[in-house]
Structure 1
Amino acid sequence: MSATAFIFARGGSKGVKNKNIYPVAGKPLIAHGIASALASQSVARVVVSTDDAQIAAVARAHGADVLERPSALADDSTPELLAWRHAIASFPQLFSGPAVQPFISLPATSPLRAAQDVDAAIAKFRSHPCDILFGVSPAHRNPYLNMVTIDAQGLLQIAIPGSSAVRRQEVPAMYDVTTCVYVGNASYIQSCTRLMQGRVGHIVIPPERALDIDSHYDIHLAQLLLTQPYPPCAKRSS
């Protein structure tokens, strides 16, 4: 089945001005997301939801359709879940009837995502029943071992106290939720109060493809990884 993937990209970013169209490795940030979606075997169409005319123009120039997002759904304090629901309501033909599709969100801030990550997420969602699926990546720190809090006396305390473990192998594996890919059931997204309340599946994204752009430092890292992939011989679809 050829699916429709959505990219949600509002204007007015604060950390990096015009972040979604900021040039990264020779093209606007959002163009990397559009390219990885269209390069996948599962996605035939990309729709960019935005309130910004510049983002819309860039999206169209790189092969995406555009859904105009109401300004009320593009405020700093607006949960993106509401923008997801607006997209679902705008395309009822995709999310109802015998040919119902999964809802797919591919954040614009993940320029290192590969087409294979998109395909893997959609395939696993279809084969392993869950309400929604997240991309996750192995965490660099563990709250049982080397993540700490600072107490009232200014002293360090292990984030999850009581563990006597001294090696990573002795504690549960921990993962970071990435912004690479989300695949979900549209009816669940329309009715849930928070995404983690239902049955949440996952795929593991390798760290070298899990970067989320939130600062100029992140853009610097993305630039390096896109122009000098890790490992050096690696090739990616984007």
Structure 2
Amino acid sequence: MANLAIITARGGSKRIPRKNIKEFRGKPILSYAIEAAKSSGLFEEVIVSTDDEEIAGVARKYGATVPFMRSAENSDDFAGTADVLVEVLNHPQVASVNFGYACCIYPTACLLDGDQLKKAWDLLKAGDWDTVFPVVKYGYPIQRSLRMDSDSSVAMNFPENGNKRSQDLPPSYHDAGLFYFFHVDRFLSNRKLWTERTAGLVLREMEVQDIDTIEDWEIAEFKYDMKRKSG
């Protein structure tokens, strides 16, 4: 069965205008996700789902296809990732290929590389999982997290852990916000990327960066520069 990469890159971005094609270290940030997918050698096709003609042009320039423009219904601030993926996978031009697996990649995944995708693919196949996505360990145990009230007073969310050493508490993880590699038929049957048969691929903090603010963008540039220096 063939594999498909789907990069979701709509035009609307309020906190960082035109974020998905903003220049990142010399080229549009979208290009990094496209190049990672292509360099992995895992995908017969790399599709960019977008509602924006300029983004479509950038996608094609870097080797992706844009077989159709995303619907208005799935282009607003309330459209979920699953809805966008269903639209792509059910499009006649895509459905006719009968892709067995697909990978949803976010357009600002500038630290992504082909090796990470290969590791996810190997894990997905080895465990017959519905979905595999990268996770990152929290830098400090969330069991000792604090809350702050309006008067600036602080209190523990889990006071029962107040006297426990941080090294004695189990680690917690969060979604790295890079990609989701999934079984197409199972996804289309339940329209969920996270099921009871979902596995996490653990990545290091320096390998990932979710980008929502200018500060996030600057951190991503720092991590990218460090990654290039380390080879």
Q: Does TM-score exceed 0.5, indicating one fold?
A: yes
- Is the Cα contact below 8 Å between 1:180 and 1:210 reproduced in 2? yes
Asked if 1:187 is matched to 2:185, the reply is yes
Q: 1:203 aligns with which of 197, 201, 218?
A: 201
Give 1:196 deviation, angstroms. 3.1
User: Aligned partners of 1:213 and 1:219: how far apart in 2?
Assistant: 6
Q: Which structure has more helix as a fraction of its residues?
A: 2
Q: Which runs of 5+ in 2 are unaligned?
A: none
Give yes or no for the alignment of 1:85 onto 2:86.
yes
- Give, in whole Å, the separation in 1 of the partners of 2:149 and 2:160: 15
Residue 220 (structure 1) shift: 1.4
Q: Residue type of the partner of 1:93?
A: S
Specify the alignment match of 1:29 in structure 2: 29
Aligned residue in 1 for 2:137? 138
Matched, 1:8 2:16: no
Task: Please name the residue that 2:171 is paired with.
Answer: 173
**Superposition deviation, residue 42 in structure 1:** 1.6
Aligned-residue CA RMSD in angstroms?
A: 2.0
- Equivalent residue runs for 1:102-113 within 5 Å: 102-113=101-112
Change over 3 Å in CA distance of 1:2–1:25 after alignment to 2 = farther
In the TM superposition, residue 44 of structure 1 has moved relative to its aligned partner by 3.7
2:175 & 2:157 partners in 1: Cα distance?
18
Cα separation, 1, equivalents of 2:158 and 2:137: 18
Q: Give yes or no for contact 1:131–1:200 (8 Å, CA) kept in 2.
A: yes
Distance in 2 between residues matched to 1:42 and 1:9, nearest whole Å: 21
Structure 1 residues 123-143: Cα deviation after superposition (integer angstroms, max 9, x where no partner): 111111222111101112322
Q: What is the aligned residue count? A: 228
Specify the code of the residue in structure 2 equivalent to 1:8: T
* Unpaired runs of at least 5, structure 1: none
Partner of 1:126: 125
Please, which moves more after superposition, 210-219 or 53-62? 210-219
CA contact (8 A) 1:109 1:179 kept: no
Instruction: Output the CA distance in 2 between the equivalents of 1:149 and 1:76.
Output: 29
TM-score using structure 2 length: 0.90
Partner of 1:69: 70
The residue type equivalent to 2:78 in the other structure is S
**CA distance in 2: counterparts of 1:51 and 1:6, whole angstroms:** 14
- In structure 2, relative to structure 1, the CA distance for the partners of 1:94 and 1:104 (3 Å cut) is farther
Question: Once the two structures are superposed, what CA deviation does each residue of 1:63-115 show, in whole Å capped at 9, x if it has no partner?
Answer: 000142111101011112100111111222344xxxx5212111112100111
Q: Does the CA-based 8 Å contact 1:94-1:101 persist in structure 2?
A: no
Q: Which amino acid aligns with 1:70?
A: S
Deviates more, 1:81-90 or 1:187-196: 187-196
